[in-house]
A = this chain, B = another copy of it.
Amino acid sequence: MLGLMQNHPLLISTLIDFAACNHADTEVVSRRVEGDIHRYTWADVQRRAKQVANGMDKFGLKAGERVGTLAWNGYRHLELYFGVSGSGRVLHTLNPRLVPEQVAWIVNHAEDQVMCFDMTFLPIIQAVHSQCKTVKHWVALCDAEQLPKDSGIPNLLSYEAWLAGQSSDYEWPVFDENTASSLCYTSGTTGHPKGVLYSHRSTVLHAYAAALPDVMNLSARDAVLPVVPMFHANAWGLPYAAAMVGCKLVFPGPAMDGKSIYELIEAEEVTFAAGVPTVWQMLLSHLGPNKLRFSKLTRTVIGGSAAPPAMITTFREDYGVDVLHAWGMTETSPLGSLSMLKQKQLAWPEAEQLKVRMKQGRSMFGVDMKLVDADGKDMPWGTGVAGDLLVRGPWVVAQYFKGDGGDPLVGGWFPTGDVATIDADGFMQITDRSKDVIKSGGEWISSIDVENIAMAHPAVAMAACIGMAHPKWDERPIVVVVKKPGQEVTRDELLAFYEGKVAKWQVPDDAVFVDAIPLGATGKMLKTRLREQLKDYKLPRL
């Protein structure tokens, strides 16, 4: 027997309609590529998103066809979020930090019909447009007068001129909430990128969860600054969650330096910001020497990679900003867990609380987590033993776009590729990537732990721990180090630095000094490439 409640599909168009109706005069503020500050309201976002929808109709785009974007965080990108998905097409956000060949490969794989880009990325478009066979319309996110006369892009449109020709009268179509809404490719370090195809349902449910008090705690009293790019897993879902709660939204555009971010936070009375550790490091480096303080910012979500403990304490103790350490992946929409303390933990000593804050946190309703051992057997929580982390839930990937890569699930669960512990309170802590963990004599050694110790040495700028084949122990760790300019440390000094910090068998067998460690487009260390570089290396004690 079915219930007798109303049937309303969960659609992205209802998010922007809600914001425009209930928070019509709440501002959306953007630092533009042009450098100036643009301000308008949720009512304006809706109006222009409807113009986008009408424009896509005129392009003759069918439901489900893809519209690519290469854009910073800004109001035009936001209009595309709602106008493209709301009208039944699929918004495909591309990472402009990829090399042009990768961009072209992804555009062709996605079969994008329209490509919208910030002028910053014109050189990428100029490099790839002739290889992008499916793209019929190129749209530069600028005014008509900013359009270069000789861009080399056939029929290049100015977004503003194009939009000006579209009516803002538009009735959003109503369809199955499981319809595809958006597409984002993972920046896989090996093999081709794989597309994660989100649905309207997964996006709206994720927005509800994201706004919860124990997750990002978003309300109409917040001014939210997503520093995390809108091309990275939908800026952690913030554009959708912001519309759901009707908060003020502040976009940094391309200006990610500490000074620009700080000025925007202060000028727009930002209460909540979200970004990766690198960006916050730039911000802290600007604040310290200039003796600056925040007037309204009270909390920041840090994810993408692990936040250094010092960053968490500095934000908290020096600036009164709570750091919410989070974990997620493109495949998880991306929110998987967030380290928000429970009631009983608030009574713990600060040092104990810090240990919890440093973990990647507990899952929210909608995400189930579990650990399995090397044989794939479920492991209990609260033992301190690490295992492979698997997740499931309505905003976790079931398969990749076009079925590429086969069935990624194991018994209905998505293997994250992360190795983690989960404590008795449900707080998860990433200890390593599965492919990076060193399996030594049946025990696992966390490459991240080995790296963090090396990074704590004053002479070390960057450190990567990789496993080397060993006849007796299967694998043994070595640490590959880039020294800080003008600083010195010897192999033996560095290995001695591990004494007392880890068990003897966890100390790396060797320290190798290099000029640089290869990094990927998103700033992550490319250990596969590092292993190739060291293919002739031999462990010292063999």
Q: Which A residues fall within an 8 A CB radius of B? A: 1-8, 10, 14-15, 18, 21-24, 26, 63-64, 90, 176, 178-181, 196-202, 205, 208-209, 211-214, 217-223, 244-248, 333, 340-343, 346, 362-363, 365, 368, 392-401, 409, 412, 414, 424-426
Which one of B176, B181, B220, B343 contacts A221 once the chains associate, using CB atoms below 8 Å? Answer: B343
Additional A-B contacts beyond A7-B178, A214-B245, A220-B343 (17; CB < 8 A): A1-B64, A4-B196, A4-B398, A4-B399, A5-B198, A5-B199, A5-B201, A5-B333, A5-B395, A5-B397, A7-B398, A8-B392, A18-B365, A205-B208, A211-B213, A212-B219, A213-B213
Residue contact B365 to A245, C-beta cutoff 8 Å: yes
What are 19 residue pairs bridging A and B, where the CB atoms are less than 8 Å apart in the complex?
Answer: A3-B178, A4-B199, A5-B199, A6-B395, A6-B412, A7-B394, A8-B394, A26-B343, A208-B212, A211-B213, A212-B219, A213-B213, A213-B218, A213-B245, A220-B340, A220-B342, A221-B342, A222-B343, A248-B343
Residue contact B220 to A2, C-beta cutoff 8 Å: no
Chain B residues contacting A346 (CB-CB under 8 Å) are: 221
Tell me the number of copies of this protein. 2
Residue contact A22 to B363, C-beta cutoff 8 Å: yes
Residue contact B212 to A3, C-beta cutoff 8 Å: no
Chain B residues contacting A4 (CB-CB under 8 Å) are: 180, 196-197, 199, 397-401
* Cα–Cα distance between A202 and B247 once the two chains are bound (Å): 25
**Distance from A393 Cβ to chain B, minimum over Cβ atoms (Å):** 6
Which one of B219, B394, B399, B409 contacts A214 once the chains associate, using CB atoms below 8 Å? Answer: B219
Chain A at the B interface: SS class: loop
**Distance from A22 Cβ to chain B, minimum over Cβ atoms (Å):** 4
A213-B213, A213-B217, A219-B214 are contacts. A3–B248 as well, Cβ < 8 Å?
no
**Distance from A193 Cβ to chain B, minimum over Cβ atoms (Å):** 15
Residue contact B214 to A179, C-beta cutoff 8 Å: no
* Cα–Cα distance between A392 and B18 once the two chains are bound (Å): 13
Residue contact A198 to B245, C-beta cutoff 8 Å: no
Chain B residues contacting A396 (CB-CB under 8 Å) are: 5-6
Which one of B8, B214, B248 contacts A220 once the chains associate, using CB atoms below 8 Å? Answer: B214
Residue contact B426 to A179, C-beta cutoff 8 Å: no
**Distance from A7 Cβ to chain B, minimum over Cβ atoms (Å):** 7
* Cα–Cα distance between A248 and B399 once the two chains are bound (Å): 37
Chain B residues contacting A222 (CB-CB under 8 Å) are: 343
* Cα–Cα distance between A246 and B6 once the two chains are bound (Å): 28
A394-B5, A397-B4 are contacts. A219–B208 as well, Cβ < 8 Å?
no
* Cα–Cα distance between A448 and B14 once the two chains are bound (Å): 34
* Cα–Cα distance between A223 and B211 once the two chains are bound (Å): 20
Residue contact A15 to B365, C-beta cutoff 8 Å: yes
* Cα–Cα distance between A376 and B186 once the two chains are bound (Å): 51
Residue contact B6 to A397, C-beta cutoff 8 Å: yes
Residue contact A212 to B211, C-beta cutoff 8 Å: yes
**Distance from A249 Cβ to chain B, minimum over Cβ atoms (Å):** 12
Chain B residues contacting A214 (CB-CB under 8 Å) are: 219-220, 245
* Cα–Cα distance between A54 and B258 once the two chains are bound (Å): 59
* Cα–Cα distance between A6 and B4 once the two chains are bound (Å): 26
Which one of B8, B15, B179, B218 contacts A2 once the chains associate, using CB atoms below 8 Å? Answer: B179
* Cα–Cα distance between A245 and B362 once the two chains are bound (Å): 11
* Cα–Cα distance between A280 and B223 once the two chains are bound (Å): 34
Chain B residues contacting A409 (CB-CB under 8 Å) are: 6
**Distance from A383 Cβ to chain B, minimum over Cβ atoms (Å):** 15
